[in-house]
Amino acid sequence: MTSLLKNSELSIEKADKIVSETLNSCDDGELYVEDTKSETIVLDDNKIKSSNYTSDLGYGFRAVTGDTVAYSHSNEISEKSLKNSSDNLKSTLKNNSGTYNSEIKKTNQKLYKDIDPIESKSMKSKIELLNNMNEYARSKDSSVKQVTASLLAEKKNIEIIRSGGELLSDNRPLVRINMSVMVEKNGRKETGVYGIGGRQDYDEYLKNDNWKKVCDEAFRIANTNIESKPSPAGEMKVVLGPGWPAILIHEAVGHGLEGDFNRKKTSAFHDLVGKKVASKGVTIIDDGTIDNRRGSLNIDDEGTPTERTVLIEDGILKNFMQDRLNARLMNTKSTGNGRRESYKHVVMPRMRNTIMLGGTNTQEEMIKSVDKGIFAVSFGGGQVDITSGKFVFNCTEAYEIINGIVGAPIKGATLIGDGPSSLKEILMVGNDMMLDPGIGTCGKAGQGVPVGVGQPSLLINNMTVGGTQL
């Protein structure tokens, strides 16, 4: 029983036959079929600038033997096209032969509803919402000079057909509401950006005029930055706020704990399992099973049920995040981290919701303990060099701390640190763990996937701040 091949020229029986015949002599692989509908509506410069609807259907056929992966994808769904792909896979793997591992865990996990968020709200009411957001944000202050608001909704249905005819499927809704406000005052221009989202209908996120809070927050950040002074440069103590600043965790250790880099021994963490990589009291998990979160999945893109994987426990490195290929080559089990952006992309170990658990300190005592440092509340993007372990992230809202007191806001600065050592520099872990508002997208090897992060407030002993004030 398949729904995605229903209207195509390829019957499920034919697909099964080609899949089984191709993968028989391989270690692993599958046919992945994906049907994605998405809609983006953007209001920009007081106008509905664009309304785009995309409908994408295609398959990715993968065969794996040893550590060699052959992949072929197409959006022509036909017997001929799949046979071509099959020939292509066979030619790559002609010198290898394996034994198909048909074992895959089953689940009844239902972390989100099977809904179509695009159709759940009429086009008229979406346009009205964007207009309301625009007017509301502009009415906040005459210094608001530019507003961009957008609504994104997606319904991605996937099916995985394994050798032997086993079929696994998942229907994944996703929405995101974004707001960007530019404020101009005394010849200075600053922006504030905020957004919310997850795997529910728009209305769940819009309850109680929640969209106003999104506008308020974007305006607040822009308005704070307009008063900002140049950021200091050099090493200092950093207090991180709870929630979204956990992209520090994502960059500093998350990527370095993905199975592929460790199997290939190119990660700075590859020989540190069982060793102390973080301060006592630091526990980090990657959890794909939180209801309705942006990074949650019932099954990953290989069909493995997601789970809550403990990466670091009380400072000790416990596990890497694995897909089937890297797990097999490292003699362990997939942790349900095998993900891909779409049928056009190969599977890799990727994060889901990466979270540092709460501790016992208060944010107040962290700030009080700092003589000279910065208090970083919100961030833009981050990036990491897996091999050297160096990572950066960009502050979008930060303040100086002088003698235990939060002072003036400072201009957006880049913070740089060293992954394996920075977690050992954590002096206090807060009791205020919070998840991010549901807007993160992680990029790796050209593939973007939705992810979540979370953390409590943290006090870090030493990070380098990329300011302009010496």
Instruction: Output 198 or 412, the one with its CB closest to another protein.
Output: 412
Amino acid identity at 199: R
Q: Taking CB under 8 A as the rule, does residue 408 contact another protein?
A: no
The residues, ordered by sequence, that sit 6+ positions from 216 with a Cβ below 8 Å of its Cβ are: 140
Q: Binders of another protein among 1-40, rule CB under 8 A?
A: 7
- Which residues are paired to 284 by β-bridges? 312, 356
- When asked if residue 68 is in the footprint of another protein (CB under 8 A), the reply is yes
Nearer to another protein, 212 or 344 (CB): 344
Please check whether residue 348 is in contact with residue 449, taking contact to mean a CB–CB distance below 8 angstroms. Answer: no
| 195-234 residues near another protein, rule: CB under 8 A | 231, 233-234
Q: Which is nearer to another protein, 29 or 359 (CB)?
A: 29
The residue from 3, 11, 52, 360 that contacts another protein (CB under 8 A) is 52
Beta-bridge partner residues of 190: 183
Name the one range near another protein by CB under 8 A: 85-93, 101-109, 161-169, 355-363: 85-93
Q: C-beta of 385: minimal distance to another protein in Å? A: 6
CB of 287 to another protein, least distance (A): 26
Window contacting another protein (CB under 8 A); options: 16-24, 211-219, 290-298, 411-419: 411-419
CB of 296 vs another protein, minimal distance in Å: 26
- Could you tell me which of 423, 443, 279, 276 has the C-alpha nearest to residue 348? 443
Site for another protein in 99-138 (CB under 8 A): 123-124, 127
Query: Contact between 394 and another protein (CB under 8 A)?
Result: yes
Q: What minimum distance in Å lies between the beta carbon of 374 and another protein?
A: 12
Interface of this chain with another protein, residues 352 to 391, rule: CB under 8 A: 380-388, 390-391
Residue burial 208-226, b: 16+ Cβ < 10 Å; e: rest? eeebeebbbbbbebbbbbb
Tell me the closest approach of the beta carbon of residue 232 to another protein, in angstroms: 8
CB contact at 8 A, 399 and 377: yes
Tell me the closest approach of the beta carbon of residue 292 to another protein, in angstroms. 27
> Which part of the chain contacts another protein (CB under 8 A), choosing from 199-207, 260-268, 294-302, 309-317?
260-268
Q: Which is nearer to another protein, 112 or 219 (CB)?
A: 219
Q: Interface mask (CB under 8 A) for another protein, residues 136-175, using x and -?
A: ---------xx-----------------------------
Q: Which stretch binds another protein (CB under 8 A): 242-250, 265-273, 280-288, 362-370?
A: 265-273
The yes or no reply on residue 266 touching another protein (CB under 8 A) is: yes
Residue reference for tokens 């599977």:
347
Nearer to another protein, 139 or 388 (CB): 388
- List residues bridging with 285 in a β-sheet: 310, 355
> If you compute the radius of gyration of the chain from its CA atoms, what whole number of angstroms results?
24
Spatial contact of 257 and 384, defined as CB atoms under 8 Å apart? no
Q: Per rule CB under 8 A, is residue 320 in the interface with another protein?
A: no
Is the Cβ–Cβ distance between 46 and 132 less than 8 Å? no
Asked if residue 265 binds another protein (CB under 8 A), the reply is yes
- Distance between CA atoms of residues 183 and 140, nearest Å: 11
Torsion over CA of 314, 293, 377 and 443, rounded to 10 degrees? Answer: 90
Contact range with another protein by CB under 8 A, out of 46-54, 108-116, 193-201, 447-455: 46-54
Give φ, ψ of 401 to 5 degrees: -115, 125
For 268-274, which contacts have Cβ atoms below 8 Å and span 24 or more sequence positions? 268/386, 268/387, 268/388, 268/389, 268/419, 268/420, 269/317, 269/389, 269/419, 269/420, 272/317, 272/420, 273/317, 273/318, 273/319, 273/320, 274/316, 274/317, 274/318
Smallest distance, another protein to C-beta of residue 328, A:
15
235 makes contact with another protein (CB under 8 A): yes
42 binds another protein (CB under 8 A): no
Indicate the angle between helix axes 12-23 and 79-92, nearest 10 degrees: 10
- State how far the alpha carbon of 372 is from the alpha carbons of 146, 428, 459, 462, 464, in Å: 35, 16, 13, 11, 13
> Which residue among 346, 357, 398, 423 contacts another protein (CB under 8 A)?
346
Q: Find out whether 410 and 399 touch, Cβ atoms under 8 Å.
A: yes
Collapsing DSSP states into helix, strand and coil, what is residue 178?
Answer: strand
Nearest to another protein of 241, 467 (CB atom) = 467
What is the per-residue binding string for another protein in 424-453, x denoting contact by CB under 8 A?
Answer: ------------------------------
Q: Is the C-alpha dihedral spanning 11, 96, 25, 322 positive or negative?
A: negative
Residues in contact with another protein, total (CB under 8 A)?
A: 80
